[in-house]
């Protein structure tokens, strides 16, 4: 998942061009979903080496830096099976977001974040994933992507629940 492409006319990447370029980078079965940098692909590279490879190649080809967060099909299954807000019937799925972190944040950053109550918004950190409930909508949320990056000192990208479900479907073995 690429962070911050095609937002407000900034860092424009056409998905057909991205799919083609990813194929040239020796990724295969490349698919994209909507215009916001959601890429599903297969690769012989290890998961750990992929973000740096993708970031440097995108910078070289498209001319700007874009953070990349790579998750496996099992990561998506984990999200779908463990979202705590799904168990609460009072929660609207349209207000559930998943923030994917590039790595697990340091415990001290998590502890500092927990010192404040952000109600009516809510979040739960699960390793390198944050389940977010934006009670008044994500556009007005304090608990947004920039907030978590700043507080946890880690790169992140956020997707709504519908997009996460679609990416999980696309990434699942056929």
Residue among 90, 74, 47 at smallest CA distance from 167: 74
Instruction: Output the furthest CA–CA distance in the chain (Å, rounded).
Output: 47
In terms of CATH architecture, what is 1-70?
2-Layer Sandwich (3.30)
**pLDDT score, position 132:** 98
Q: How confident is the model at residue 81 (pLDDT cuts 50, 70, 90)?
A: very high
User: Taking the domains of the chain in order of start, what are their residue ranges?
Assistant: 1-70, 73-171
- Residues with Cβ < 8 Å from 148, sequence gap 6 or more? 99, 101, 130, 154, 156, 158
* Tens of pLDDT, residues 84-135: 999 888 899 999 999 999 999 999 999 999 999 999 999 999 999 999 999 9
Stated pTM of the model: 0.92
Domain 73-171 in the same topology as domain 1-70: yes
Residue among 108, 93, 91, 122 at smallest CA distance from 151: 108
Which three-class secondary structure state does DSSP give residue 168? helix
Q: What is the 8-class DSSP label of residue 46?
A: -
Identify the residue with better confidence: 164 or 65.
164
In terms of CATH architecture, what is 73-171?
2-Layer Sandwich (3.30)
């Amino acid at each position: 998942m690429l962070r911050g492409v095609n937002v407000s006319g900034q860092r424009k990447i056409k998905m057909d061009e991205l799919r083609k370029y990813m194929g040239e980078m020796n990724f295969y079965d490349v698919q994209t979903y909507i215009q916001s940098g959601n890429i599903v692909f297969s690769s012989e590279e290890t998961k750990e080496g992929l973000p740096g490879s993708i970031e440097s190649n995108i910078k070289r080809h498209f001319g700007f830096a874009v953070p990349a967060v790579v998750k496996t099909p099992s990561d998506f299954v984990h999200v779908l099976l463990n979202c705590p807000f799904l168990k609460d019937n009072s929660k609207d799925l349209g207000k559930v977001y998943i923030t994917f972190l590039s790595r697990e944040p340091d415990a001290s950053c998590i502890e500092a974040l927990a010192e404040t109550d952000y109600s009516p918004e809510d979040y739960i950190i699960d390793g390198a994933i944050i389940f977010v409930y934006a009670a008044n909508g994500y556009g007005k949320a304090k608990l947004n992507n920039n907030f978590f990056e700043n507080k946890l000192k880690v790169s992140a990208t956020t997707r709504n629940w519908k997009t996460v479900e679609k990416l999980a479907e696309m990434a699942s073995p056929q």
